[in-house]
A and B are shown apart, each in its own frame.
Chain A
Amino acid sequence: ETGVTQTPRHLVMGMTNKKSLKCEQHLGHNAMYWYKQSAKKPLELMFVYNFKEQTENNSVPSRFSPECPNSSHLFLHLHTLQPEDSALYLCASSPTGGRDEQYFGPGTRLTVT
């Protein structure tokens, strides 16, 4: 595996379900990010982790819970979602965060029914 991978690529879940999105980077980077992109809307930064520490939570509802066990893995735990949470969820990584270039994974297309 190379670059940034995300699983699953597609997810359909009910409003009462609990699911997790997984991201793994194979680039040796130390910063990882979660973004949300709704249809025809710009990227919204959700969370930033730098050296496993959360450095930004962009006022994200508590039904989204991130976890970063090490610099290579990032999870987004989902529970009690709303239909408006349906979107493309993108993971990215960068060498040391801040002004570094970011590399994106392919994304998880989430549909909440």
Chain B
Amino acid sequence: QKEVEQNSGPLSVPEGAIASLNCTYSDRGSQSFFWYRQYSGKSPELIMSIYSNGDKEDGRFTAQLNKASQYVSLLIRDSQPSDSATYLCAVGGNTDKLIFGTGTRLQVFP
């Protein structure tokens, strides 16, 4: 079992819709959770962090964490074509590094 799992996609949503990206992790001791956005050929950019159960909202983005289910998600409201990118989930625990998922490619079509 991979430590951090994401569906590779592509996830295709129409402009204006809600995009829902999901991530599961295997280490129950994980304590920090991050979402990164990576445009093609560019470096990952941190867009959300979440540390406790529940929802965290920042503009059009909402991160949701459920530690009991070992599940973290990212909702993007009012999706725009400029949101088309690969979204990486990263999880931090008791090691000297973050564990990254393989990413979900999101396509927002007009």
Which A residues fall within an 8 A CB radius of B? 31, 33, 42-43, 45, 48, 50, 55-56, 88, 90, 94, 97-107, 109
Contacts and interface: CB of A to CB of B under 8 A. Distances in A.
Contacts of B100: 42-43, 45
Interface string B78-95: 000000000010101111
Interface of B: 30-32, 34, 36, 41-46, 49, 88, 90, 92-98, 100-103
Contact of A98 (B41, B88, B96): B96
Nearest to B46: A101
Contacts of B88: 43
A42 B43 contact: no
A104 B92 contact: no
Given A42-B102, A43-B100, A48-B97, A99 B32 contact: yes
Contacts of B36: 104
B43 A99 contact: no
B43 A102 contact: no
Nearest to A55: B96
Contacts of A97: 96-97
A45 B103 contact: no
Given A43-B88, A99-B30, 6 more contacts: A94-B98, A101-B34, A102-B34, A104-B36, A104-B44, A105-B43
B52 to A, nearest CB: 13
Contacts of B96: 31, 48, 50, 55-56, 97-98
A50 B97 CA distance: 10
Contacts of B45: 104
18 contacts: A42-B103, A43-B88, A43-B100, A45-B97, A45-B100, A48-B96, A88-B41, A90-B44, A94-B98, A99-B30, A99-B32, A99-B92, A99-B94, A101-B46, A102-B34, A102-B46, A107-B42, A107-B43
Counting chain A CB atoms within 10 Å of each CB, the highest count among B45, B49, B92, B101 belongs to: B92
A48 to B, nearest CB: 5
Nearest to B91: A99
